[in-house]
Amino acid sequence: MLLRLGYRTAKTAGLYLVPSKMDKLYLLTIGAVGLCLIIKYYRRKRFEQKKRTSGYLECHSLDDFENLAKEILLPHRFNYFNYQVGYGCTYQASREYFNRHLKIIPKVLTDVSEMSLQTTIFGNPIIIAPTAFHRLAHYDGEWGTAQGATNAESIYIYNWSLSTVSVNDVLKTKGPKWLHVYLSSSKALLEQCILLAEQQSFKAIVVTCDHPHERVQSIHRPAFIRAIERKQDKTMKEILYTPNTNIARLKADERLDDHTPNEKLTWKEFQWLRTLTKLPIICKGILSVDDAKLALEYGADGIVVSNHGGRQVDSGLSAIECLKDIVEFVNGRCEVFVDSGIRTGTDVLKCLALGAKGVLIGRPILYGLACGGHNGVEAVLNLLKQELMYDMASCGLKRIEQINERILYKYRQ
């Protein structure tokens, strides 16, 4: 076998040898080296497959999920998910505010034997944020994300425009879902979205309002195109050049253009959307009291305090530092949620203490999906829930409604 393998290798390399004892020894050596390389290749392939299917079991923090996803994913895929605008100042500001400005005060010798994360919004306050192109993380795509959310009893916000799995497949999972849309989509498509949401029992509409330019697309589209041209990424080709199965009559070359930012959008478009449905509409991307006031005036039933994960503007405000002012201004007139930079159950507790009804998790869900499909998504959500419960117990809290700002040293005075 080694001799045959060595002969084939030599022939492939263009080496034509006259049969002799030395040549046979040489071919045996080549064959042995080739066999070792083949064994190494398949061992490596098995190891990588194991990481993709069960690596999440060895992840004990969201940083572990991110690091494993970086090993598993093709560079242009990971870079798209992990993108932070400019020098990453906005994203880092979120992490710094969580870690340096919000300190928790424990409460000892309190009975916490019967704890619950139950909330009025369903299951628990941890929600999956709307993100794009889930099949770039795992072949199961949005179905895997939805199934993980169902298993962990969390709400999944399905991105209508930039999904890679049809809405019918996603709806085969049983958990509650909200539908996400962009105002920049055509009115005909938005009307179709709203009709679908009502017919398929989506519980709310989430509208991204902080997306006035093409910065993210302009940076990553060239890398996507290069990967396709070099035949490095078949899935990417399917995503970019196959019409979105959610949207009837959408041409292939409009795959990414259906949500292309429209610089002319105003609150009038939001108000028009409000007239289409009685479903709750949640405005995502608010960072100021002024915009929160406008959101209420134009009919928002909920607000997501968000800086888009630090992907839109550098040196921007962190969502967590804006949260308290917006909650106080709203004063119960609508539900307030928050996202951007949340990486631990401790972060979730701090958000709830400042008045958020729930938190949206984006990138870590994609990393979990990359590391283990729907099991990885479930693992990320369960990790956050477990950390939240540990910290609630440390603060002497049994239920979500008991959480308030008095557990934070900054507001205890």
Q: Is 308 part of the annotated catalytic residue set? A: yes
Alpha-carbon separation of residue 51 from 88, 148, 382 (angstroms): 29, 18, 19
- What's the pLDDT score for residue 251? 43
Least confident of 29-38, 268-277, 345-354: 29-38
Q: Cβ distance 83 to 404 under 8 Å?
A: no
Query: Could you give the CA distance from residue 62 to residue 376 in angstroms, rounded to a whole number?
Result: 11
Mean pLDDT of the chain: 83
Tens digits of residue pLDDT in 32-41 = 555 555 556 5
- Whether pLDDT at 387 is above 70: yes
The pLDDT tens digits for 69-103 are: 999 999 989 998 998 887 888 889 999 999 999 99
What does the pLDDT read at residue 412?
A: 61
Six token digits for residue 395: 């603060």
Q: Is 410 annotated as a binding residue?
A: no
The pLDDT value recorded for residue 21 is 45
125 assigned to a ligand binding site? no
Q: Any binding-site annotation on 208?
A: yes
User: What confidence category does residue 205 fall into, taking pLDDT thresholds of 50, 70 and 90?
Assistant: very high
| Amino acid sitting at position 214 | E
Determine the Cα–Cα distance for residues 235 and 114; give it in Å rounded to an integer. Answer: 46
Q: Is 318 assigned to a binding site?
A: no
Greater confidence, 387 or 234?
Answer: 387
For the stretch 112-167, pLDDT in tens is 988 888 776 666 899 999 999 999 999 999 999 999 999 999 999 999 888 889 89
249 known ligand binder: no
Q: Which tops the pLDDT comparison, 249 or 171?
A: 171
Helix H, strand E, coil C: the string for the chain is: CHHHHHHHHHHHCCCCCCCCHHHHHHHHHHHHHHHHHHHHHHHHHHHHHHHHHHHHHHCCCHHHHHHHHHHHCCHHHHHHHHCCCCCCHHHHHHHHHHHHHCCECCCCCCCCCCCECCCCCCCCCEEECCCCCHHHCCCCHHHHHHHHHHHHCCCEEEECCCCCCCHHHHCCCCCCEEEEEECCCCHHHHHHHHHHHHHCCCCCEEEECCCCCCHHHHHHHHHHHHHHHCCCCHHHHHHHHCCCCCCCCCCHHHCCHHHCCCCCCCHHHHHHHHCCCCCCEEEEEECCHHHHHHHHHCCCCEEEECCHHHCCCCCCCCHHHHHHHHHHHHCCCCEEEECCCCCCHHHHHHHHHCCCCEEEECHHHHHHHHHHHHHHHHHHHHHHHHHHHHHHHHCCCCEHHHCCHHHEHHHCC
Asked if residue 204 belongs to a known ligand binding site, the reply is no
Of 134, 180, 211, 308, which one is the catalytic site residue?
308
Contact 106, 394 (CB under 8 A): yes
DSSP 346-383: HHHHHHHHTT-SEEEE-HHHHHHHHHHHHHHHHHHHHH
Please check if 215 is assigned to a binding site. yes
340 is in an annotated binding site: yes
Ligand-binding site membership of 399 (annotated): no
pLDDT value at residue 35: 56
273-290 per-position pLDDT tens digit: 999 999 999 999 999 999
User: Of how many residues is the chain composed?
Assistant: 413
**Is 130 assigned to a binding site?**
yes
pLDDT score, position 403 = 96
Which pLDDT score is estimated for 39?
58
Rounded alpha-carbon distances, angstroms, from residue 389 to 79, 269, 323, 338, 398: 32, 41, 22, 19, 8
pLDDT tens column, 226-262: 776 666 677 777 776 655 556 544 443 444 455 555 6
Domains identified in the chain and CATH numbers = 2-56 (no CATH), 73-411 (3.20.20.70)
156 belongs to an annotated ligand binding site: no
